[in-house]
Amino acid sequence: MIETELSSPDNVGTKINLQELQAGSSPVVFLVNGFGGCAPCITRILHKKLQLQSISVYDLDWNDIYLRRRSVYLTFTDTKFIQQMVELVIPTIKSERPIILIGESLGGDAILEVAARVRPRKIDFLGIIDSVNKLGQRTTKEVPENVNYFYNRWTQNPSLPRNIESWKLPGTNYRLGIPLNASKSGELFCPNPSTYSDQQEQSYGYNADGTPILVANTTNSSVTKQKILTHACKNAIYKDPYIQQQIFEIIKKIDVKSHSAPSRSS
């Protein structure tokens, strides 16, 4: 187990509020980041849009629901987070209130486990973005049958810290970075036919309207190319405007009374 304490200049996300979870009736969204976090960083455009719709949004670290209250504290296991969500958070929420779980990287792997352990409680929307397990490889968990709408996006461009987008082993085309097996598909098995499976690779960036994001070519600034999305760092896939817009449109259409989400993304 690895433990360390880091200071964070941006330690601001929405803190867990058990009283609101118990009393509220609008859909409740949990945004779960991955290793290191940036207190918070995951899907900030989505976060603001959901709040404008009077939807409750909480920012959580993949290893402890209370970490927003102080500096980012890293414990390299999701055991505590899963226990907190399964035994404390989810049971607090009224049965008629829609639950949305969204996680990136290690956070995606963690919320898949949470969803499986709270069965038969319905999860109206479960979204993962380039989910990986603690070994740095793509998540292989099945999607539990209590998930109504499963959204999954991944990139085949790995990333390393300090904005190093990809390294290759000398003399090979094998790229180093997270996920370690980035060339593998990130699609997960949905055993329940009633779970709507919305899964796609997205290795390049798009604007919210679906048009490509163009950037200057590093070798020739007069030539543009489509922005490459990596697992993390400055071109992180979870920052992509198009992915955030898609998730927003789906969540916005969830019917609070019936907990039914649209059968396809908008």
What's the mean pLDDT in 151-176? Answer: 75
Instruction: Please give the sequence-ordered ranges of beta strands (E in DSSP) within the chain, or none if there are none.
Output: 3-5, 28-32, 56-60, 73-75, 99-104, 123-129, 147-154, 167-168, 175-176, 196-201, 214-216, 224-226
- pLDDT tens for 78-121 read 999 999 999 999 999 999 999 999 999 999 999 999 999 999 99
Q: In what order do the strands lie in the sheet with 28-32?
A: 56-60, 28-32, 99-104, 123-129, 147-154, 196-201
Does 5 score more than 60 pLDDT? no
**pLDDT at position 130, please?**
97
Query: Under a CB-based contact definition with an 8 Å cutoff, are residues 169 and 215 in contact?
Result: no
Maximum mean pLDDT: which of 42-56, 113-127, 155-169, 245-259: 113-127
Picking from 66, 109, 106, 120, the residue whose alpha carbon sits closest to that of residue 88 is 66
Q: Whole-angstrom Cα distance, residue 170 to residue 175?
A: 10
**pLDDT at position 68, please?**
56
* Domains assigned to the chain: 3-252 (3.40.50)
Of 29-33, 42-46, 148-152, the least confident: 42-46
**pLDDT at position 221, please?**
72
Picking from 65, 100, 107, the residue whose alpha carbon sits closest to that of residue 85 is 65
- pLDDT tens for 116-156 read 999 999 999 999 999 999 999 999 999 999 999 999 999 99
Q: 């990130």: which residue's tokens?
A: 186
Q: How many CB atoms lie within 10 A of CB 12?
A: 11
**pLDDT at position 161, please?**
57
- pLDDT tens for 200-254 read 999 999 999 999 999 988 777 778 999 999 998 889 999 999 999 999 999 999 9
On whether the pTM is more than 0.95, the answer is: no
